[in-house]
Amino acid sequence: MSDVLVIGAGFAGLYSALMLARRGHAVTVLEKDPEAPPADGEACFTDWVRRGVAQARQPHILLNRAARVLQDETPAVLAAFADAGANLLTAGGERVAPDERDRLFFTCSRRLPLEAVLRRAVLAEPQVELRTGEEASGLVLLNGRVRGVLLRDHTEIRAELVVDCAGRWSRSRDWLMAEGVRLDPERRQDCDFFYLTQWRRRTNADFSWGGVPGRAESAFASFRCFPADGAVFAATMVLSMHDPLKAKCRKSAVFERVFGAIPGFQRWLEGSEPISELEVTARIENCWRSTLDEKRPAVSGFVLLGDSAMHTNPTLGRGVALALLQARQLADLLERHDAGSPDLVAEFETWRSDELSVWYLSQAAANARRSEEMRHTATGGETQEPVGEQARFAAAMAIAAAEDPYVAERALELFHLLATPAEVAADLRVRKAAQSVLERGVPLRPLTSGPGRTEFERMLE
């Protein structure tokens, strides 16, 4: 069994460590943030300092694909999430048990209490050593093989396999290139929008969650209510970076006024009180990275996993599910390959390309359309019809889903990463329903359940 070194103890690093330790590997995890999570979930949210994760206090809602990995591999972890207060909810807001297999559900919680649960599960594994307050600052490279990691004080830690789970701002590709390793360029696209979140706690006992997540769309902005753990939820506004009014929304009173004026959200706002200042997350992008050079592994003994390998704008909440899938895949491949074998890297990259690039590409395309629409309408432009076959089909399918439960079910599978866009588009019933929307000549504009621009501007005065 191999010695594996994991950089980063976010969801990707922790789940990789758990999967690998349970398959018999000895795992060391380096985490640059020094603090341990408090024992209490509430204190995790209020007191746990997580400078290494910019989005630590943004909503995290785990898709059913993530729950399926947990159910199959580590059911006790999903049960522990629920014990820690996570609400497991269907799209209709019904509560389900952690072993639910028939209905698709979201695991809803603030991020840090879940991370703390996962960290405890990892620390219970005798094969894992977690070294906190230790930052990787380079890789030890010998003859095209990564042999370990360099720490800030130049100490080396050797390992047969290094797994980079350092998140979106991972610098490992720079470290490799500085050593003369040639790598295919990364794909990168600015999202062009930012997140504003206020955490709130329900005060009325008879509240039902209703649609999960709560959604309202305007052409220039998206509004969401994400149930979290216990009685807590997040109200989140997504605005274009080009919106001339963006600074005004950063005042809590204005933010609450806008949310409270959206009909679907009135009951959420009225029956709750804020428990946080407004949290802002910007500098969001889509990015796909690999350790390939012209389709061949550029190094062995090293893989990128989780956000360091791919991340997309978080509107669709895919990051954790994709990270867990990658962690499981790596553990499976290590059953068949030596940790230092180039075949391990080649197969892992091939699998990522075959299975995961579809999620990157589809979201990057949708992001480009949505950010252009938000920018255009926030700066005085009129709402426009989507252009292009794919965009028109997606818009028609969204309208058909509101009319036809079968299409809604397939759309939900797509949302939970359980069916690909191509599989859903190839479904004859879905095609027919979308085609009929297109033939009816219904406007394919976004379903505008959020405020119009003039109303929005008035509320900011």
Ligand X SMILES: Cc1cc2nc3c(=O)[nH]c(=O)nc-3n(C[C@H](O)[C@H](O)[C@H](O)COP(=O)(O)OP(=O)(O)OC[C@H]3O[C@@H](n4cnc5c(N)ncnc54)[C@H](O)[C@@H]3O)c2cc1C
The contact set with ligand X (CB under 6 A) reads 7-13, 30-33, 52-53, 55, 58-62, 135-136, 165-167, 195, 281, 284, 306-308, 311, 314, 317-321, 323
| CA–centroid distance for 17 within its chain | 19
Report the nearest approach of ligand X to the CB of residue 54 (Å).
7
Angle at 314 between CA 387 and CA 228, to 5 degrees: 130
- Amino acid letter, residue 339: A
The CB density around residue 375, as the number of other CB atoms within 10 Å, is 17
By beta-carbon proximity to ligand X, the closer residue of 10 and 421 is 10
Rg (CA), the chain: 22
Query: At its nearest, how many Å lie between ligand X and the CB of residue 239?
Result: 13
Strands 3-7, 26-31: pairing is parallel
Quick one: 8 or 451, whose CB is closer to ligand X?
A: 8
Please say whether the beta carbons of 450 and 223 come within 8 A.
Answer: yes
- List the beta strands (DSSP E) in 296-363: 296-297, 302-304, 310-311
In the bound state with ligand X, the residue whose beta carbon lies nearer, of 121 and 407, is 121
| In the complex, minimum distance from the CB of residue 271 to ligand X, in angstroms, rounded to a whole number | 23
Which of 345, 299, 311, 343 is CA-nearest to residue 166? 311
> Which CB sits closer to ligand X, 225 or 323?
323
Q: Is the CB of 234 or the CB of 433 nearer to ligand X?
A: 234
In whole angstroms, the minimum distance from the beta carbon of 404 to ligand X comes to: 27
Residue 145's alpha-carbon distances to 154, 342, 344, 455, in angstroms, are 19, 9, 12, 59
The residue (of 118 and 430) whose beta carbon lies closer to ligand X is: 118
Q: Residue 240 is encoded by which pair of tokens?
A: 């274009």
Q: Which is nearer to ligand X, 13 or 230 (CB)?
A: 13
Cβ nearer to ligand X, comparing 234 with 258 = 234
Q: Which two tokens stand for residue 142?
A: 């010998």
CB of 399 to ligand X, least distance (A): 25
Nearest distance from C-beta of residue 323 to ligand X, angstroms: 4
Q: Which is nearer to ligand X, 32 or 202 (CB)?
A: 32
Strand partners, 302: 162
Contacts of residues 87-90 at CB distance under 8 Å and 24 or more positions apart, as own/partner, are 87/209, 87/227, 87/228, 87/229, 87/230, 89/209, 89/212, 89/227, 90/212
Between the alpha carbon of residue 151 and those of residues 11, 131, 140, 300, the distances in Å are 22, 12, 10, 20
Burial class (CB in 10 A: 0-12, 13-18, 19+), 19: buried
* Nearest CB to ligand X, comparing residues 162 and 398: 162
CB of 289 to ligand X, least distance (A): 12
User: What are the structure tokens assigned to 151, written together?
Assistant: 């720490």
Least distance in angstroms from the C-beta of 299 to ligand X: 17
